[in-house]
Amino acid sequence: MVTASGSPSSSNPNNNRSGGSFTTLTERVTFEREIKKSKFIAIAGPVSDERSAFSFLSEVSDPRATHNCWAYKVGDQYRSNDDGEPSGTAGKPIHSAIVSSGIDRVMVVVIRYFGGIKLGTGGLVRAYGGVAAECLRNAPTCLVKSKVPMGLEVPFDLLGVLYHQLQSFHVEDIKQDYDTGKDNVTMVTFKVDFDRVQSLEEAIKVSCSRDIVFYKH
Protein backbone atom coordinates (compact mmCIF):
# COMPACT_ATOMS: atom_id res chain seq x y z
CA MET A 1 0.00 0.00 0.00
CA VAL A 2 1.26 3.47 -0.90
CA THR A 3 0.32 6.47 1.21
CA ALA A 4 0.96 10.01 0.00
CA SER A 5 0.15 13.50 1.16
CA GLY A 6 1.03 17.10 0.39
CA SER A 7 -0.60 20.50 0.56
CA PRO A 8 -0.74 22.69 -2.59
CA SER A 9 1.84 25.08 -1.15
CA SER A 10 4.24 22.22 -0.44
CA SER A 11 5.29 21.87 -4.06
CA ASN A 12 8.01 24.34 -3.16
CA PRO A 13 10.14 22.80 -0.40
CA ASN A 14 11.15 26.28 0.75
CA ASN A 15 7.57 26.81 1.97
CA ASN A 16 7.80 23.88 4.36
CA ARG A 17 10.48 24.91 6.81
CA SER A 18 9.38 25.61 10.32
CA GLY A 19 10.82 28.97 11.30
CA GLY A 20 12.79 29.15 8.07
CA SER A 21 15.08 26.20 8.82
CA PHE A 22 15.05 22.43 8.91
CA THR A 23 17.19 19.58 10.23
CA THR A 24 18.33 16.88 7.84
CA LEU A 25 20.89 14.09 7.62
CA THR A 26 24.45 14.80 6.60
CA GLU A 27 25.08 11.29 5.32
CA ARG A 28 23.57 7.86 4.77
CA VAL A 29 23.16 5.70 7.89
CA THR A 30 22.27 2.05 8.48
CA PHE A 31 20.83 0.13 11.41
CA GLU A 32 20.31 -3.64 11.56
CA ARG A 33 18.32 -5.81 13.96
CA GLU A 34 17.12 -9.41 14.03
CA ILE A 35 13.58 -9.95 15.31
CA LYS A 36 12.27 -13.52 15.62
CA LYS A 37 14.72 -14.75 12.98
CA SER A 38 13.76 -12.02 10.49
CA LYS A 39 16.55 -9.60 9.62
CA PHE A 40 15.53 -5.94 9.40
CA ILE A 41 17.95 -3.43 7.86
CA ALA A 42 17.02 0.26 7.99
CA ILE A 43 18.86 2.62 5.65
CA ALA A 44 18.27 6.37 5.92
CA GLY A 45 19.56 9.16 3.73
CA PRO A 46 18.93 12.80 2.83
CA VAL A 47 16.61 13.52 -0.12
CA SER A 48 15.48 16.79 -1.67
CA ASP A 49 12.35 15.77 -3.57
CA GLU A 50 10.38 12.80 -4.86
CA ARG A 51 12.80 12.16 -7.69
CA SER A 52 15.82 11.92 -5.41
CA ALA A 53 13.80 9.75 -3.01
CA PHE A 54 13.07 7.17 -5.68
CA SER A 55 16.67 7.31 -6.85
CA PHE A 56 17.73 6.56 -3.26
CA LEU A 57 15.20 3.71 -3.10
CA SER A 58 16.56 2.12 -6.29
CA GLU A 59 20.09 2.33 -4.90
CA VAL A 60 19.52 0.70 -1.52
CA SER A 61 16.61 -1.73 -2.02
CA ASP A 62 17.41 -5.41 -2.41
CA PRO A 63 15.29 -7.36 -4.92
CA ARG A 64 16.27 -10.57 -3.12
CA ALA A 65 14.68 -9.38 0.13
CA THR A 66 11.17 -10.37 1.20
CA HIS A 67 10.10 -6.72 1.55
CA ASN A 68 11.57 -3.29 0.85
CA CYS A 69 9.30 -0.94 2.81
CA TRP A 70 9.88 2.79 2.92
CA ALA A 71 8.76 6.30 3.70
CA TYR A 72 10.11 9.75 2.97
CA LYS A 73 9.31 13.27 4.10
CA VAL A 74 10.11 16.55 2.35
CA GLY A 75 8.43 19.43 4.13
CA ASP A 76 4.69 18.75 4.11
CA GLN A 77 5.02 16.12 1.41
CA TYR A 78 5.42 12.46 2.26
CA ARG A 79 4.89 9.01 0.81
CA SER A 80 5.16 5.54 2.26
CA ASN A 81 4.89 1.99 0.99
CA ASP A 82 4.23 -1.34 2.74
CA ASP A 83 5.66 -3.37 -0.18
CA GLY A 84 3.46 -6.38 0.39
CA GLU A 85 3.26 -6.28 4.18
CA PRO A 86 -0.28 -5.93 5.64
CA SER A 87 -1.65 -2.44 5.05
CA GLY A 88 -0.41 0.14 7.52
CA THR A 89 2.12 -2.13 9.24
CA ALA A 90 5.35 -0.92 7.60
CA GLY A 91 5.34 2.32 5.63
CA LYS A 92 3.17 4.21 8.11
CA PRO A 93 5.26 3.35 11.21
CA ILE A 94 8.42 4.24 9.28
CA HIS A 95 6.90 7.62 8.45
CA SER A 96 5.84 8.08 12.09
CA ALA A 97 9.44 7.44 13.14
CA ILE A 98 10.61 10.15 10.73
CA VAL A 99 8.09 12.65 12.08
CA SER A 100 9.01 11.84 15.68
CA SER A 101 12.72 12.34 14.93
CA GLY A 102 12.19 15.92 13.78
CA ILE A 103 14.33 15.24 10.72
CA ASP A 104 13.17 16.56 7.34
CA ARG A 105 14.12 15.85 3.74
CA VAL A 106 14.87 12.26 4.60
CA MET A 107 13.99 8.80 3.36
CA VAL A 108 14.12 5.56 5.34
CA VAL A 109 14.04 2.18 3.62
CA VAL A 110 13.58 -0.89 5.83
CA ILE A 111 14.58 -4.15 4.19
CA ARG A 112 13.20 -7.37 5.64
CA TYR A 113 14.52 -10.88 5.10
CA PHE A 114 11.79 -13.20 6.39
CA GLY A 115 13.03 -15.75 8.94
CA GLY A 116 10.04 -18.08 9.01
CA ILE A 117 8.18 -16.68 12.02
CA LYS A 118 5.20 -14.38 11.48
CA LEU A 119 5.16 -11.28 13.69
CA GLY A 120 1.49 -10.31 13.45
CA THR A 121 0.29 -6.80 12.65
CA GLY A 122 1.33 -5.34 16.01
CA GLY A 123 4.72 -6.99 15.81
CA LEU A 124 5.29 -5.65 12.31
CA VAL A 125 4.39 -2.10 13.35
CA ARG A 126 6.81 -2.29 16.26
CA ALA A 127 9.53 -3.86 14.14
CA TYR A 128 9.42 -1.45 11.21
CA GLY A 129 8.83 1.62 13.36
CA GLY A 130 11.44 0.55 15.87
CA VAL A 131 14.33 -0.07 13.47
CA ALA A 132 13.52 3.15 11.59
CA ALA A 133 13.54 5.11 14.85
CA GLU A 134 16.83 3.54 15.98
CA CYS A 135 18.39 4.27 12.60
CA LEU A 136 17.54 7.96 12.93
CA ARG A 137 18.20 8.29 16.66
CA ASN A 138 21.96 8.78 16.48
CA ALA A 139 22.24 9.77 12.83
CA PRO A 140 24.48 12.77 12.06
CA THR A 141 22.34 15.83 11.28
CA CYS A 142 22.75 19.47 10.39
CA LEU A 143 20.57 22.57 10.55
CA VAL A 144 19.88 24.11 7.14
CA LYS A 145 18.74 27.73 7.10
CA SER A 146 16.55 29.03 4.32
CA LYS A 147 17.67 32.01 2.30
CA VAL A 148 15.46 35.09 1.95
CA PRO A 149 15.70 36.92 -1.41
CA MET A 150 16.03 40.68 -0.85
CA GLY A 151 16.81 43.78 -2.83
CA LEU A 152 17.20 47.52 -2.42
CA GLU A 153 17.85 50.62 -4.47
CA VAL A 154 21.06 52.38 -3.50
CA PRO A 155 22.96 55.44 -4.80
CA PHE A 156 26.26 54.73 -6.52
CA ASP A 157 28.22 56.55 -3.81
CA LEU A 158 26.97 54.12 -1.16
CA LEU A 159 27.78 50.89 -3.00
CA GLY A 160 31.07 50.45 -1.13
CA VAL A 161 29.37 50.82 2.24
CA LEU A 162 26.58 48.45 1.20
CA TYR A 163 28.91 45.75 -0.06
CA HIS A 164 30.89 45.88 3.17
CA GLN A 165 27.71 45.10 5.11
CA LEU A 166 26.61 42.39 2.68
CA GLN A 167 29.96 40.65 2.99
CA SER A 168 29.92 40.84 6.80
CA PHE A 169 26.52 39.10 6.81
CA HIS A 170 27.70 36.43 4.33
CA VAL A 171 24.95 37.05 1.81
CA GLU A 172 24.85 35.08 -1.42
CA ASP A 173 23.97 35.57 -5.07
CA ILE A 174 24.60 39.33 -5.19
CA LYS A 175 23.44 40.99 -8.43
CA GLN A 176 23.20 44.57 -9.67
CA ASP A 177 20.71 46.12 -12.08
CA TYR A 178 21.46 49.63 -13.32
CA ASP A 179 18.19 49.91 -15.24
CA THR A 180 16.21 51.53 -12.43
CA GLY A 181 15.06 54.62 -14.32
CA LYS A 182 16.75 56.77 -11.70
CA ASP A 183 19.99 58.73 -12.06
CA ASN A 184 22.99 57.36 -10.16
CA VAL A 185 20.89 54.63 -8.52
CA THR A 186 21.24 50.87 -8.89
CA MET A 187 19.19 47.92 -7.67
CA VAL A 188 21.15 45.36 -5.66
CA THR A 189 19.59 41.94 -5.01
CA PHE A 190 20.91 39.13 -2.83
CA LYS A 191 19.96 36.25 -0.54
CA VAL A 192 20.52 36.19 3.22
CA ASP A 193 19.84 33.69 6.02
CA PHE A 194 16.28 34.12 7.30
CA ASP A 195 17.46 34.82 10.86
CA ARG A 196 19.79 37.62 9.74
CA VAL A 197 17.27 39.68 7.77
CA GLN A 198 16.34 42.16 10.50
CA SER A 199 19.92 42.68 11.71
CA LEU A 200 21.12 43.26 8.15
CA GLU A 201 18.38 45.80 7.47
CA GLU A 202 19.27 47.71 10.63
CA ALA A 203 23.00 47.63 9.88
CA ILE A 204 22.48 48.96 6.34
CA LYS A 205 20.17 51.73 7.50
CA VAL A 206 22.68 52.84 10.14
CA SER A 207 25.73 52.71 7.89
CA CYS A 208 24.03 54.39 4.92
CA SER A 209 22.44 57.11 7.09
CA ARG A 210 19.51 57.40 4.67
CA ASP A 211 16.05 55.98 4.25
CA ILE A 212 16.54 52.74 2.41
CA VAL A 213 13.60 50.76 1.02
CA PHE A 214 14.04 46.97 1.07
CA TYR A 215 12.27 44.61 -1.29
CA LYS A 216 11.58 41.02 -0.22
CA HIS A 217 10.57 38.50 -2.85
pTM above threshold 0.85: no
Most confident option among 19-33, 114-128, 196-210: 114-128
Q: pLDDT exceeding 90 applies to what percent of the chain?
A: 59
| Alpha-carbon span 189 to 153, nearest angstrom | 9
Tell me the per-residue pLDDT of 39-71, one tens digit each, with 9 for 90 and over. 999 999 999 999 999 999 999 999 999 999 999
Report residue 138's pLDDT band, with 50, 70 and 90 as the boundaries: confident
* Spatial contact of 138 and 103, defined as CB atoms under 8 Å apart: no
End-to-end alpha carbon distance in the chain: 40
Average pLDDT over the chain, rounded to an integer:
87
Position 82 scores a pLDDT of 96
Which residues, 6+ apart, have CB-to-CB distance to 114 below 8 Å?
38, 66, 67
Query: Given this model, what pLDDT does residue 51 score?
Result: 95
Instruction: Look at residue 148 in the predicted model and tell me its pLDDT.
Output: 84
Across the chain, where does the E strand assignment appear? 2-5, 21-25, 29-35, 38-46, 67-74, 77-81, 106-113, 141-145, 147-155, 172-177, 185-193, 214-216
What value does the mean pLDDT take over residues 189-215? 82
**pLDDT one-digit tens code per residue, 10-41:** 334 443 444 578 899 999 999 999 999 999 99
Q: 148-187 pLDDT, tens per residue?
A: 898 988 888 888 999 999 998 988 889 999 888 888 888 9
- Tell me what pLDDT residue 6 has: 54
